[in-house]
Amino acid sequence: MTKTKIQKQYEKYVATMQKKADIESAIAVLSWDKEVNLPDNSARFRSQQVATLSGMSHELFTKASFGKLLATLKSEKKGLDKRQKRNIALTHKEYERSKKLSKAFVIRKSKTISAAYHAWLKARAANDFQLYKKELGAIVDIAKEEAELIGYKAHPYDALLDIYEPDARTSELSVLFKDVRAQLVAFVKQLKKRPQIKNDFLFKKYGHKKQWEYGLKALENMGYDFKTGRQDISAHPFTISFSPEDVRVTTRIDERDFTNMLWSCIHEGGHALYEQGLPTDQYGLPLGQAISLGIHESQSRLWENNVARSAAYWKANYKEVQNLFPRNLSAIPLKQFYKGINKIAPNLIRTEADELHYHFHVLIRFEIEKGLMEGSIEVDDLEEIWNAKYKEYMDVEVPDAKQGILQDIHWSHGSIGYFPTYSLGSFYAAQFFQQAVKELPNLLSEIEKGNNQSLLTWLRENVHQHGQYYTAKELCIKITGEPLNFKYFMKYAKEKFGEVYA
CA distance 467 to 91: 13
CA distance 229 to 227: 6
CA distance 87 to 345: 45
Q: Which of 295, 250, 251 is nearest to 274 (CA)?
A: 295
Q: State the alpha helices, DSSP H only, in 402-448.
A: 420-439, 443-448
End-to-end CA distance of the chain: 69
Please indicate whether residue 383 is annotated as part of the active site.
no
Q: Is the Cβ–Cβ distance between 380 and 392 less than 8 Å? A: no
Could you tell me where the beta strands, DSSP code E, fall in 207-268? 231-233, 239-243, 246-251
Q: Which of 412, 451, 184 is nearest to 312 (CA)?
A: 451
Using only C-alpha atoms, the chain has a radius of gyration, in whole angstroms, of 23
Q: Sign (positive/negative) of CA torsion 221, 227, 233, 237?
A: negative
Q: Which of 338, 396, 347 is nearest to 201 (CA)?
A: 338
Exposed, middle or buried, 441 (CB in 10 Å: 0-12/13-18/19+)?
A: exposed
Q: How many CA atoms lie within 13 A of 97 on its CB side?
A: 16
Q: Which of 146, 97, 139 is nearest to 115 (CA)?
A: 139
Give me the catalytic one of 268, 275, 355, 369: 268
Give catalytic residues, as residue numbers.
268
